[in-house]
Every structure is written in structure tokens, then in C-alpha cells.
């Protein structure tokens, strides 16, 4: 009989088992849980993410109900206590390194065109509530913070880091490797004149919003060229420097671009060290920053990082990393099979068909007839027999 793998098996095929085994060995990931090894752990957590399991009990019940798939997935049975122990002890570095491998595997065509070399930098809070006593508070929420560098052209996170909620965004922003020719787009939370200067000296560019307490002096006005863009109207384009007494803190050429958004009529001021792009293009690149906000909204709505399978710091970090791995796998498998359906619809179908045995290319189609199984062909001229 011809074997057909499940949808979950098709998604997991994108993970190189040899590379994953090397990561496990490097971090001694199976030191304490040899029976429930790292591969079992990873598959369980990814399955929980894609299915939306909200508790250990729910994940265990769904897993055991599909025990006939365990052999082909390379995993075994699951117990709540075993998974809970693994969440407490397994090194998060295994999942973090796997995420980096998958991002590298996905690649990015953006590097082929210098004009499209853009990275968006932002962070989103992960509230944990009062039940998690060890979590720090930043004055607004108690929990963790997910920092992401996002490639808008590839529609994939490029780097990520998980910190306490009280850690300032710029602290992680300064750890991002600076690539020549790249344009980094971020909001006002990443205001650091020393970092901006480092980016400029590395022959890279940055675009951000001006903070209200930052004062600049106009050097000259530049021609606007195109006065409007997609969703905004340009109001001004000037070369500026910091106020005289603070100029030494940012000793580089700057532009200030003023625009009015059509949606709400709000006036915005952008700052950049890019002196060559048209003002409309720079404003358009800042508008692209909305894509990373959509990424955060998507993973919070369609993956499981609101309810956690454990309350320890290690368990929560593992679940967040599993969510980001699941996100990358969904993007990769959709492109591999050239899916044209919306990403939300594709994720929903994967969630509903995790253990259905069909190809991902036919995820939205009825099951095919198995060609290896003999089919009945009735002939109208054939006599039929029946018991009297």
C-alpha cells in the first residue's frame, strides 16, 4: 500500500534531522530526558502551536489520539509530567539555534538588490500576569519582551531575542550586526545617537521618527519632488543638525522629512541619514514598518503565546521559540508548495488537518483515491448473486 504522510509530517520535513541532532549534542540537550528526547519535545511543542493546544492535558489527549502517526514522525507517546519536566530542564539554546538555521535555510532574495536591503527592528511585550511571580514589570506589563529583526521582502524574522519586559528596546537594538548598504527602520524607542552614528560609519542607513524633545536646526531646504505617496502627503524635506550645544553627540548629515498621513491627518517627522533617496521613498520605507506590527499581531492571534504550558522561565521561552519556529516553517512550506491562499487561511487549514494523510499541495482539496488499493468496477452486464 502506498504510504502518504500527514500534513504535520510534511511541515517537519523541512527540518534537517542531522543538523538538529548536532545542535542537541552541542548543548547536551538529552542529558536528563533520554526517553523523551529533544526531537520528541520539539515535535510536541510545534504540534501544540499549530493545533492551538491551550494546556498540557489538551496536548496530551490530542497526541495520544493520533498514536498511529508516532512511528512515521519519529516520536513516541506523551505524558504530561514528562513534558512538564522537559520544559523545565531542556536548554533553550537548542530551539534558538534551530530557529537561526531555518531562517538561514529560508534565505532572502533581498540581498540581490541593494535598494531592497531593509530590516525592520521592533519589540512586543509578552504579558504573563501576576501568577508568574518571577517575571519583571516595566510599569505597564509583567512578563517578557520579544525583540525581532524582520526582513519585509522575505516576510520572515531575521533574528530574535527574548528578554525581561524591563529591558530597554535599544539595549537589544545595539546588538544587531550592522551590514553595509542595509537600511534599518525603527520607531522612537530606538533613539540612541551613538548607535545612529555607528550605523552611518558602517555605510548603512537608518530611518526613524523624531522624538518631541529632540531639537534640530535647519541647514537648508531640499526640493520635495513628488509631493505625495501611498497614504501620505509630503510637507517638507530639510537637512538639519542637532541643536548647537548637543551637535557633537550626532556629528553626521541628517534629513528631516515632514508628512501628513491621509488616514488620520496626523503630521509626522522622520529622521534619516540617507541623503540620496527621494523623500517619498523614505516615507514609504517607514510605512513598511507596519509589517512588523502585523507580524506581532499574527503570531499572537494564530499561534499560542498567550497561554503557556508551564510557568517557569525556561518553559515559557521554549514555547515562544517553538511559536517562532512554527511561523517560519509555515512560511517555508507555503512557498515550497507555491500556495496562493492567504497566510491566515493556510495556517487554519494546517491546524485542522495536522494528522490528515495528504500532501500539503492538496491541503485544500478532497483526499485522493489511493491508486495502490484495488478499485471496484461494476459491470451492468454482470450477473449478481444474492442469498435467497
Radius of gyration for the chain, computed over Cα atoms and rounded to the nearest angstrom: 26
d(CA 75, CA 227): 60
Global pTM reads: 0.87
Evaluate if residue 361 carries a pLDDT over 90.
no
Instruction: Give me the residue label for grid cell 548543548.
Output: 27
d(CA 178, CA 205): 10
**Could you give phi then psi for residue 233, rounded to 5 degrees?**
-125, 130
Rounded to the nearest integer, the mean pLDDT of the chain is 88
245 or 155, which is more confident: 155
348 or 208, which is more confident: 208
Strands 216-221 and 254-261, by their bridges, are unpaired
Residue (of 144, 149, 193) closest to 164 by Cα position: 144
Evaluate if residue 88 carries a pLDDT over 90.
yes
Cell numbers of 332, please? 517555508
Instruction: Give me the residue label for grid cell 517578557.
Output: 144
| CB half-sphere exposure, 131, CA atoms < 13 A | 7
pLDDT at site 380: 62
Tens digit of each residue's pLDDT (9 = 90 or more) over 228-265: 778 899 999 999 998 867 777 888 989 999 999 988 88
Q: Is 157 helix (H, G, I), strand (E, B) or coil?
A: strand
| CB half-sphere exposure, 322, CA atoms < 13 A | 30
pLDDT at site 369: 61
E-strand ranges in 74-210 read 118-127, 136-137, 142-151, 156-164, 183-185, 205-209
Count the residues in the chain. Answer: 388
pLDDT at site 109: 40
- Torsion region of 95: left, alpha or beta (phi above 0 gives left; psi -120 to 50 gives alpha): alpha
Strands 142-151 and 156-164, by their bridges, are antiparallel
Residue (of 105, 148, 80, 176) closest to 305 by Cα position: 148
Cell numbers of 51, please? 493545533
Q: Give 240's strand partners.
A: 218, 254
d(CA 144, CA 368): 45
d(CA 312, CA 314): 5
356 or 256, which is more confident: 256
pLDDT at site 113: 45
d(CA 335, CA 340): 9
What is the pLDDT averaged over residues 334-363? 86
Q: Is 54 helix (H, G, I), strand (E, B) or coil?
A: coil
Question: How many angstroms separate the Cα of 299 from the Cα of each of 133, 146, 294?
Answer: 25, 11, 9
pLDDT at site 378: 60
CA of residue 240 relative to chain centroid, distance: 36
What is the pLDDT averaged over residues 75-88? 93
Say what percent of the chain tops pLDDT 90.
58
What is the pLDDT averaged over residues 147-153? 94
Q: Where are the domains of the chain?
A: 7-96+310-362, 187-284
Evaluate if residue 114 carries a pLDDT over 50.
no
Residue (of 322, 293, 330, 329) closest to 305 by Cα position: 322
pLDDT at site 237: 94
Residue 323 near residue 299, CB atoms below 8 Å: yes
Amino acid at each position: 500500500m502506498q504510504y502518504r504522510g500527514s500534513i504535520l509530517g510534511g511541515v517537519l520535513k523541512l527540518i534537517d534531522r542531522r543538523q538538529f541532532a548536532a545542535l542537541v549534542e552541542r548543548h547536551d540537550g538529552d542529558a536528563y530526558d533520554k526517553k523523551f528526547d529533544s526531537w520528541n519535545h520539539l515535535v510536541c511543542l510545534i504540534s501544540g502551536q499549530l493545533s492551538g493546544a491551550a494546556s498540557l492535558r489538551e496536548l496530551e489527549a490530542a497526541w495520544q489520539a493520533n498514536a498511529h502517526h508516532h512511528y512515521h514522525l519519529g516520536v513516541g507517546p506523551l505524558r504530561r509530567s514528562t513534558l512538564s519536566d522537559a520544559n523545565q530542564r531542556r536548554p533553550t539554546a537548542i530551539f534558538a539555534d534551530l530557529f537561526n538555521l531555518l531562517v538561514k535555510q529560508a534565505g532572502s532574495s533581498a540581498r540581490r538588490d541593494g535598494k531592497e536591503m531593509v530590516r525592520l527592528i521592533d519589540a512586543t511585550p509578552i504579558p504573563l500576569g501576576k501568577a508568574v511571580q518571577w517575571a519583571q514589570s516595566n510599569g505597564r506589563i509583567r512578563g517578557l519582551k520579544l525583540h525581532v529583526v524582520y526582513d519585509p521582502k522575505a516576510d520572515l524574522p531575521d533574528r530574535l531575542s527574548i528578554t525581561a519586559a524591563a529591558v530597554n528596546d535599544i539595549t537589544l537594538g545595539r546588538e544587531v550586526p550592522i551590514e553595509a548598504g542595509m537600511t534599518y527602520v525603527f520607531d522612537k524607542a530606538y533613539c540612541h545617537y551613538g548607535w545612529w552614528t555607528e550605523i552611518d560609519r558602517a555605510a548603512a542607513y537608518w530611518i526613524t521618527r523624531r522624538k518631541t524633545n529632540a531639537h534640530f536646526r535647519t541647514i537648508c531646504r531640499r526640493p520635495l519632488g513628488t509631493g505625495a505617496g501611498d497614504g501620505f502627503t509630503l510637507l517638507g524635506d530639510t537637512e538639519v543638525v542637532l541643536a548647537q550645544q548637543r551637535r557633537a553627540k550626532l556629528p553626521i548629515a541628517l534629513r528631516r522629512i515632514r508628512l501628513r498621513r491621509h488616514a488620520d491627518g496626523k503630521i509626522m517627522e522622520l529622521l534619516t541619514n540617507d541623503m540620496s533617496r527621494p523623500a517619498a521613498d523614505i516615507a514609504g520605507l517607514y510605512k513598511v514598518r507596519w509589517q512588523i506590527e502585523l507580524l506581532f499581531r499574527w503570531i499572537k492571534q494564530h499561534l499560542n503565546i498567550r497561554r503557556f504550558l508551564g510557568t517557569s522561565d525556561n518553559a515559557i521561552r521554549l514555547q515562544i521559540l517553538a511559536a517562532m519556529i512554527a511561523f517560519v516553517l509555515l512560511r517555508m512550506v507555503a512557498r515550497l508548495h507555491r500556495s496562493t491562499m492567504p497566510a491566515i487561511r493556510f495556517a487554519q487549514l494546517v491546524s485542522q488537518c495536522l494528522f490528515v494523510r495528504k500532501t500539503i499541495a492538496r491541503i485544500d482539496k478532497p483526499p485522493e483515491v489511493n491508486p495502490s488499493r484495488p478499485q471496484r468496477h461494476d459491470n451492468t452486464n454482470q450477473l449478481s448473486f444474492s442469498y435467497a
